[in-house]
A and B are shown apart, each in its own frame.
Chain A
Amino acid sequence: MAVSQALVVRKRLVEVDEPWKLDIYENTGGYAAAREVVTTSSPEDTLEEVKASGLRGRGGAGFPTGMKWSFVPKDIFPKYLVINHDEGEPGTFKDREMFELDPHQLLEGMIIAAFAVGASKAFIYCRGEFALGSRRMDQAIRSAYEKGYLGSGIFGSSFDFDVVLHRGAGAYICGEESALLDSLEGHRGQPRLKPPFPAVKGLYGQPTVVNNTETLSTLPHIFNHGIDWFRKWGSEKSPGVKVFSVSGHVNNPGNYEVPLGTKLSDVLELAGGMLDGNAPKAVIPGGISAPLLTITDIAMDFETLQAAGTMLGSGGIVFMDHTTCMVRNALIAAEFYEHESCGKCTPCREGTWWQVKVLERIEHGEGRQEDLDLLLDMCERMDGRCFCPLGDTAAWAVRSNLQLFREDFQAHIDEGRCTYETDHRTLVGARAIGPGDAGVTPQPSEGIGSDSEASS
């Protein structure tokens, strides 16, 4: 049976031309849910409906959205809503797509969320590199103001709601919600000690709800169609649909929206299968922070992946075939975390630096046998001891590569070189470039999957 998508959040942007325009959005049912909620419902009922829907955050942590909102104290004003559109988890490109193509969908979800928690002002923290998305959202906000969907007394009600677009400036850590708030306040983007959680003491010290783009883009559909409709997909604990970003060695990389609990193998089929019909060697199931999988017969939902020792995370799925050097894969991850570590805590700042040093040594054929256990020991000393999840996940990423593919690491040490066809001059960035160790540059091909296998 052919696998098909369950289009909800992506429906408009797949089926409609220029879906970012307000008239198109309205002609396809847009702003009906927000209007209904704001003019006929109460904040309490709205919150209860979101709780009952079982919607869980789509940014990475999977925290129940309604519960997050319920932590906001009722009697402290002002409260703020902040949108985390700082998508930067390697392998993830879903928020970017829906924000660029369907900005009003997010604005509508924001109205519902703000009404429920009593926030009259929202900030959209848009990743600095997303130039087109920012342009589209800026225009969408203007048109929504002109129509009275934003501003004072929206939809003729007594509810005032303002939205401010804010751009980041290039820092992965700002996707962590408390670092995002520090950045939005004009500081270095470093995470805050919790508690207090943002719901109690967030932006400018006020109660603040921070939600992901996909999470709030889902809201209008829940209110248009009802909780039963939403819960017909997924499981009791992971209801609804989810957008997965699929990339790597697949034929049709892209975003695919499917019910939570869909088999990973079905998601792969949607993406056209592996390049050249190869078998997957390793899969990143939820952004580079999620430990690797070596199977595809697994349900893609929060609890199943957690039980398998990994996580659904951001929904960024990267398939890798047999041409992939897992030492290199670990090094790419380690260099990423080293670059993005904010420097606040020692285990992360120093640990990521040492991970890179040792992995570089192995990849360049200078690894020592004891380096393998040294790496595992470093991961052990980082995991659970870092100030925020960035350092913990740096440990997970490196450890899962080493534990699952120890033979790749061992071969590098035994043979004193990378056993894969890799151009070492530009392994992963400027710093790796040095004279003297240039490998053979493979000829361009249809894709790396069609490059020859391990070099002899």
Chain B
Amino acid sequence: MADISSNGTTKVLVGGHYQVAKSIVSKYPNSRSAVLPLLFLVQGIEGHVTDQGMRDVAGILGLTPAEVLASGSFYTMLKKKPTGEYLISVCRNVSCAHRGAHKVINALSERLDIDPGAVTADGRFELETAECLATCDGAPSMQINYEDFYNLTPESAVDLVDRIERGETVAGERGETVRTQREVSYETAVAGARLPGTAGDIEARTVGGESPPEDMKAGDRPKLRDDEGTHGG
């Protein structure tokens, strides 16, 4: 892992992004719970979890960068190096494997000319094998940026790549359009958050805005450093 000590890079979570970060933090009685969503926010802005992004998250939450890295590095959806715009995750677990997942992985690997775990030279596609995606009813199945594709053949999987490459809009099994990796990461970050100025603004809800129960320890309340948003941006 790269050095994540201070190096003067431009901050990521500033301005509007800082306001979004604050909304996310306010979902929780304890601000540390916001580590993962804030890392998704960084990934949504930067394309992956950057060192500076981790420093920003640490600053907002009152943690050390090492604590943020310790949490974030545990999870497969948080990518610590640049990812493809379209992440193709082919299930390799039991139901899919017994119905031909390896043929799909092979075909995609040949079509993209990369091994699973790698990103194409143009940065458009990343191929990975995934553990059970709870889509065994469509085995062999895969996700493209977390939209599901069912009952794949090597041909149909390659065809999806071709269509995305041609700029076509592609929809998954449940009719949802495949979005870019950044869009999906951003969406994951703000899930359940009530962003300022939108319907369901946190001010209009009780979530995050309630008075702390009397017997709740002081440290259980969100620790927001309001000055963080004003530096470096």
Contacts and interface: CB of A to CB of B under 8 A. Distances in A.
B141 to A, nearest CB: 10
**Residue among A90, A168, A335, A342 facing the most chain B CB atoms (10 A cut-off):** A90
A160 B213 CA distance: 13
A74 interface: no
B122 to A, nearest CB: 20
B92 A429 contact: yes
A255 interface: yes
Interface in A429-449: 429-430, 433, 441-442, 444, 447-448
B226 interface: no
B216 A78 contact: yes
Interface stretch (A106-114, A134-142, A192-200, A351-359): A134-142
A425 B192 contact: no
A332 B77 contact: no
Contacts of B128: 430
Given A170-B76, A186-B33, A339 B131 contact: yes
A88 B131 contact: yes
Contacts of B136: 90-93, 245, 247-248, 253, 316, 318
Contacts of A172: 131
Given A188-B74, A429-B129, A247 B95 contact: yes
Contacts of A168: 36, 75
Contact of B98 (A77, A135, A204, A324): A324
B166 interface: no
B49 to A, nearest CB: 10
B119 to A, nearest CB: 13
Interface string A325-352: 0001100110110011010000000000
B229 interface: no
Given A132-B174, A169-B78, 16 more contacts: A90-B95, A92-B134, A132-B147, A151-B205, A166-B191, A167-B191, A170-B76, A186-B34, A204-B30, A247-B95, A248-B136, A248-B139, A253-B136, A333-B94, A428-B97, A448-B98
A447 B100 CA distance: 8
Contacts of B135: 93, 96
A111 to B, nearest CB: 15
A187 interface: yes
Interface in B118-143: 128-139, 143
Interface residues of A, number: 87
Contact of B129 (A127, A253, A430): A430
Chain A to chain B: the 8 pairs with minimum beta-carbon distance, closest first:
A165-B192, A169-B75, A170-B76, A247-B136, A186-B35, A186-B32, A170-B77, A430-B116
A320 B188 contact: no
Interface in B81-117: 89, 92-95, 97-100, 102-103, 105-106, 109, 115-117
Contact of A152 (B71, B115, B153, B206): B206
Interface in A130-183: 130-132, 134-135, 138, 141-142, 145, 151-152, 160, 162-172, 183
A89 B136 CA distance: 11
